Amino acid sequence: MTATTAAKSGVSRRALLAGLAIGFAGTRAASAQGVPPNIIYIVADDLGWGDVGFHGSDIPTPNLDALARGGAPLEQFYTQPMCTPTRAALMTGRYPLRYGLQTGVIPGAGTYAIPMDEYLLPQTLKDAGYTTALVGKWHLGHAKPEFWPRQRGFDQFYGALVGEIDHFKHSSHGVPDWYRDNTPIEEAGFDNSLFGDEAARVIREHDRSRPLFLYLAFTAPHTPFQAPQDYLERFKDISDENRRAYAAMISVMDDGIGKVVTELEKRGMRDNTLIVFHSDNGGVTSSIFAGDSKVAGGLPARNGPYRDGKGTLYEGGTRVAALANWPGRIKPGAVNAMIHVVDMYPTIAALAGVETSKTKPLDGLNVWGALAGEEPSPRDEIVYNVDPMGAAVRRGDWKLVWKAALPQRLELFNLRVDKSETQDLAAKNPQKVLELKARIEDLAAEMAPPLLLMEAVRLTFYTPPVTADPALLFNLGD
């Protein structure tokens, strides 16, 4: 990011220079041995902030808890409020509003993808000599083979292209969705168990002469709430069926993460491996975002003290359970610094020792110093999202939530004293409202048209119907 770009995106020149200094010094220290680290990047799907052991959950997550104890729980780690936008932000280091993926998710009938002129994280890491693998969920474009992971920088791909899949049938809306590389395959088993096994295999067979980037994207605990019977038996004391299956899914994921760590240790790779874990958004608290599955009863996710959940711009939808672990390089202890998922691209690229000159201007900042527990984060702003229906932005402790669709509503919160967003201070702080509203308007002026809305126009007015069920076209919960 240049100084001009940083100023335009609301990052002060002083913060930018501090971030660069921290980043370069920190990454030099991290790479003191001259060997780029392996990167294991793990993403959960719709995991509640409060549904991990290191946040006090009644659902045991011993492997995640061990990583948290030995590393850094990231207590102000932010994502986008939904699946596709978060994954796009990770892959590009840029806010999805820049390229039209800020609204909803790519639906089953969607013909668009993360734009082909974006230079993705695995492409940058391949430039640095990394072997790159994706195990799990893609959800960044499926309509054409050129949109698929193998054509976007991954040497290996195993998993699903679309969003919500049946965890046993491996199908999306009744259509098979299970691939190895570019080839559809049929395979029995619970998808998240298979993902854990596959990730362990990738590590076991990895050529250690090259660094490894493994992106492990679980579909747990996304709907439908399904799990193997032996895992359901672990939670037989939970009377609510949804919560029981949800807990079992998290347990499957945690066991898979344990297999990954064990394999790293067996291969002698653990000491030079950065592990990052987070959810793609908050847990689901509203049925509109629960996916195509018909969920009877209450939704099981718990987002701790944070308001609402997936699909919303409140903290419960965007502040997620997260951690980073690298033995000897990341100090144990919670990191309470603002970090956005877009920051992971430049941070990882710097650790890999590769330039980001092939990318478009990044919104992300190198936050290695904050991850390592050595420096404050250079980030002083969070852009939650901006689209035609609403937006939210945070500067320092102040956060403005703007519901732009009629009836319009503006809410202002001070997160330092009100992390649960219960006290709207807009009427008492009109100047702060104007300041943050102006920032949103500037971002809106730079915004690309949302591709989901463009697709809706195309499907409504320019093509014949392709399905009798509109939920298959525009499913907000995938």
Q: Is the pLDDT of residue 286 over 90?
A: no
Catalytic choice (139, 222, 278, 340): 139
From the CB of residue 426, how many other CB atoms can be counted at a distance below 10 Å? 17
Model pLDDT, residue 289? 86
Q: d(Cα 16, Cα 308) in Å, to the nearest integer?
A: 32
Confidence of residue 477 (pLDDT cuts 50, 70, 90): low
Model pLDDT, residue 456? 83
- Specify the pairing of strand 175-176 against strand 322-325: unpaired
Catalytic choice (55, 83, 167, 170): 83
Model pLDDT, residue 259? 98
Q: Is the pLDDT of residue 15 over 80?
A: no
Model pLDDT, residue 1? 39
Specify whether the CB–CB gap between 160 and 136 falls below 8 A: yes
* 117: exposed, middle or buried (Cβ count in 10 Å: 0-12, 13-18, 19+): exposed
Model pLDDT, residue 49? 98
Average pLDDT estimate for 19-47: 70
Q: Is 278 a catalytic residue?
A: no
| Cis ω before 224 (30° cut-off from 0) | yes
Model pLDDT, residue 292? 65
Task: Show the tokens assigned to 277.
Answer: 């874990």
Confidence of residue 269 (pLDDT cuts 50, 70, 90): very high
Determine what percent of the chain is predicted with pLDDT higher than 90. Answer: 83
* 66: exposed, middle or buried (Cβ count in 10 Å: 0-12, 13-18, 19+): middle
Model pLDDT, residue 282? 98
Model pLDDT, residue 134? 98
Average pLDDT estimate for 320-334: 97
Specify whether the CB–CB gap between 96 and 85 falls below 8 A: yes
Q: Where are the alpha helices (DSSP H) in 295-343?
A: 315-318
H/E run at residue 212 = strand 212-217
Q: Is the pLDDT of residue 118 over 60?
A: yes
From the CB of residue 425, how many other CB atoms can be counted at a distance below 10 Å? 16
Average pLDDT estimate for 365-381: 96
Q: What is the pTM of this model?
A: 0.91
Q: d(Cα 353, Cα 26) in Å, to the nearest integer?
A: 12
Buried b (16+ CB within 10 A) or exposed e, 268-294: ebbebbbbbbbbbbbbbbeeebbbbee
Q: Is the pLDDT of residue 124 over 50?
A: yes
Give the mean pLDDT of the chain.
90
Task: Show the tokens assigned to 343.
Answer: 């920051």
Q: Is the pLDDT of residue 32 over 50?
A: no
| Cα of 138 vs its chain's centroid, Å | 11
Q: In the chain, what are the domains?
A: 3-380 (3.40.720.10), 384-472 (3.30.1120.10)
Confidence of residue 358 (pLDDT cuts 50, 70, 90): very high
Q: Is the pLDDT of residue 356 over 90?
A: yes
Q: What one-letter code names the amino acid at 354?
A: V
Confidence of residue 35 (pLDDT cuts 50, 70, 90): confident
Specify whether the CB–CB gap between 447 and 102 falls below 8 A: yes
- Specify the pairing of strand 131-137 against strand 156-160: parallel
Model pLDDT, residue 287? 83
- The pLDDT tens digits of the residues spanning 201-225 come to 999 999 999 999 999 999 999 999 9
Task: Show the tokens assigned to 413.
Answer: 């919160």
Model pLDDT, residue 191? 98
Q: d(Cα 156, Cα 221) in Å, to the nearest integer?
A: 24
Task: Show the tokens assigned to 316.
Answer: 């419960």
> If DSSP codes are grouped into helix, strand and coil, which group holds residue 20?
helix
With both helix axes pointing from N to C terminus, report the angle between 241-266 and 62-70 in degrees, rounded to the nearest 10: 50
Tallying the residues shown for the chain, one arrives at 478
Q: d(Cα 320, Cα 89) in Å, to the nearest integer?
A: 15
Q: Is 83 a catalytic residue?
A: yes
